[in-house]
Amino acid sequence: MNNARYTEVQRFSNPWISLIVIGLAVLVAFLFVNQVIMSTPVGDYPLPDPFLWTLFFVFTVTCPLVILNMKLVVTLGNDRLSIVFFPLYSRTIRYSEIHRFETLRYNPAERDGHGVQRIPGPGWAFTTHGLSGVLLTLENGKRVLVGSRDASKLFSELRDRMPED
């Protein structure tokens, strides 16, 4: 069994996500500065200042930090596979829980894009971009799709770490 660690880090690479986040941040900052800082209400029915403070914090600080720092980290250790979708989710799967695994090409458009999501049947998909990954079928029948830039490398590293039957 291979004792070395294998780690793959993936980030969202879609520029439209960054554009949407930055666009929302600029819009909310504009409203906040005009209404709260310059005391000039925006529109016929301006939002209450406390609500603008909340929007400002959420859309100019929290959302950009979370969305622009999201990443998928897949780590193969001595006895387990670790999937971390930072900062939202993490999961550890012991190799002894894996019944079988295979490389898979998939279409993200059929799965509503990338991210953490349910897959048909009992299971979850963890992807950031690309069209390939490793599909794990666990002993309990659940499935986990782990997206990868190099699915064949992830597959071979996982195969090298699986316990001998």
> What's the confidence (pLDDT) of residue 112?
46
Q: What is the pLDDT of residue 54?
A: 94
Q: Please report the pLDDT score of residue 17 as a whole number.
A: 78
Between the alpha carbon of residue 38 and those of residues 33, 35, 72, the distances in Å are: 6, 6, 41
Instruction: Delimit the domains of the chain by residue range.
Output: 12-68, 76-161
Give the pLDDT of residue 23. 92
pLDDT given at position 81? 92
pTM: 0.72
pLDDT at 99: 92
pLDDT of residue 1: 46
Along the chain (165 residues), what's the average pLDDT of each consecutive run of 10 residues? 73 79 91 92 89 92 85 90 87 92 75 50 76 89 88 91 76
Cα separations in angstroms, 162 against 73, 78, 104, 107, 141: 20, 9, 19, 28, 18
3-state secondary structure of 13: coil
Q: What is the 3-state secondary structure (H, E, C) of 31-84?
A: HHHHHHHCCCCCCCCCCCHHHHHHHHHHHHHHHHHHHHCCEEEEEECCCEEEEE
Domain 76-161: assigned CATH number: 2.30.29
